Amino acid sequence: MRLFLGSFATVPSYHQIRYTMQPYFEGKWVEPRNLHLTWLFLGERASADPIIEALEPLKQIQREPLTLQGFGTFGKPKPKVFFLKTPSQHALPLYHHIIELLGEKPSKPFHPHITLTRIKCFHSFGFKQLNHPWMHQPLGTVEPTIRLIESHLTPSGPIYIPLAEF
């Protein structure tokens, strides 16, 4: 089974963001129900049980929702991913605790974000100069619950099945 640890996000202005960004790039937009922060991609695993057992202590940690504010891109010279940012200083301590509990060695640095689009065709960097009032306000939240999620990739997009909550 293909697994990751994630927290789902709510972005009330999602459709407004999507409409505003249309002139700058085209791509595959994430379905609103699938918006999430990936704490750790675990890949193919034979069983979820060892992960669930190792992460049991997370249930004792009090957490607040994370605020989403600001945009960013991954990929140079042309961006491949357009995302919403969340302040890393709030997410990093929890991320390091997850890594410690699982004994995992992450292959990439952790940059907490919510992917909005996988960019297929890039037209302009002009979106970086946009100055809509709503862009300077919180754009959404990441729920405090961390879930172990099974991911099934399909031609129409991924299907996420939560297996456990922490």
Averaged over 153-161, what is the pLDDT? 94
Q: Percent of the chain having pLDDT more than 70?
A: 96
Tell me the pLDDT tens digit for each residue of 16-43. Answer: 999 988 889 999 999 999 999 999 999 9
pTM reported for the whole predicted model: 0.90
Q: How far apart are the C-alpha atoms of 16 and 139, rounded to whole Å?
A: 11
- Name the class of domain 2-165: alpha beta
Of the candidates 12, 9, 8, 7, which has an alpha carbon nearest to the alpha carbon of residue 139? 12
- pLDDT exceeds cutoff 90 at 92: yes
Query: In this structure, which amino acid lies at residue 106?
Result: P
Contact 165, 39 (CB under 8 A): no
Q: What is the pLDDT of residue 156?
A: 87
Query: How many angstroms separate the CA atoms of 141 and 64, rounded?
Result: 10
Residue 91 near residue 109, CB atoms below 8 Å? no
Is the Cβ–Cβ distance between 42 and 51 less than 8 Å? Answer: yes
Classify strands 147-152 and 2-10 as parallel, antiparallel or unpaired: antiparallel
What is the spatial distance between Cα 24 and Cα 8, in angstroms, rounded to a whole number? 26
| Cα–Cα distance for residue pair 125/146, rounded to 1 Å | 34
| Domain boundaries defined on the chain | 2-165
